[in-house]
Structure 1
Amino acid sequence: MHHFIVNASIQIVPIVMDRHPYVWVDEAIAIIQQSGIEYEVGPFATVIEGKYDAVMQVIQAVNEHLYQLGCAEWIQNIQLQIRSNTDITGLEKIQKFQQ
């Protein structure tokens, strides 16, 4: 793709009752934390930011981790913002609202 910074929102929705859904979500967040990529955990999704390839690797790593742990089914909602010729950061989008 390209080498600019992108950002993405990742939401995991487990469709299983073998464990509390938050346990599966916590597993996904742990993978994001271990990746070294910038992230911010929110009440509905986690926002990650980095080079395109790094962001996509984290998304894949979360899915692989849940699969390896035996999560039977989940929905992963992803929003990904990309600019073709420059970085796009979360701070750029929210800075005017911060005090």
Structure 2
Amino acid sequence: MPVINVSFQVIPKVADECTYAVVDKAIEVVRKSGVKYEVGPMETTMEGELEPLLEIVKEAQQACVEAGASRVMTIIKIDYCPSGVTMEEKIGKYR
């Protein structure tokens, strides 16, 4: 299975003042997973194989619910190439 990129954004249904704290719980799931990732202002991008990355997204959604969200909308983007694709090849020149 090739290395791909999965970006996701969780939108938890919580009081406005709680939004960042709940999103932080989702990001914590990604951090603890050990995959390569980058947090952006609107989404988190991970690098790895598809199935494990999708499992991380599911766990991040559950973390939002456990942190008090009554509902979680999630937007997922997948960049798949049979030969693989990395974050570095996309944004390395901007660093």
TM (normalized to structure 2)? 0.87
Long gaps (5+) in structure 2: none
1:12-27 residue pairs with structure 2 within 5 A?
A: 12-17=10-15, 20-27=18-25
Whether 2:28 is the aligned partner of 1:34: answer no
The one-letter code of the counterpart of 1:61 is E
Q: What's the CA shift for 1:87?
A: 0.9
Q: What's the CA shift for 1:55?
A: 0.9
Indicate which of 58, 61, 66 corresponds to 1:68. 66
Tell me how far apart the structure 2 counterparts of residues 29 and 55 of structure 1 sit (CA, whole Å): 13
Tell me how far apart the structure 2 counterparts of residues 18 and 88 of structure 1 sit (CA, whole Å): 36
On the 8 A contact 1:12/1:77 being kept in 2, the answer is yes
Matched length: 95
Q: What's the CA shift for 1:79?
A: 0.8
Identity %, equivalent residues = 29
The one-letter code of the counterpart of 1:7 is N
| Greater shift in the superposed pair: 62-71 or 50-59 | 62-71
The one-letter code of the counterpart of 1:51 is E
Tell me how far apart the structure 2 counterparts of residues 69 and 13 of structure 1 sit (CA, whole Å): 13
The runs of 4+ residues in structure 1 deviating greater than 4 Å are none
On the 8 A contact 2:10/2:61 being kept in 1, the answer is no
Q: Which has the larger Rg?
A: 1
Match of 1:91 in 2: 88
Indicate which of 3, 6, 12 corresponds to 1:5. 3
Long gaps (5+) in structure 1: none
Match of 1:53 in 2: 51
Tell me how far apart the structure 2 counterparts of residues 61 and 14 of structure 1 sit (CA, whole Å): 14
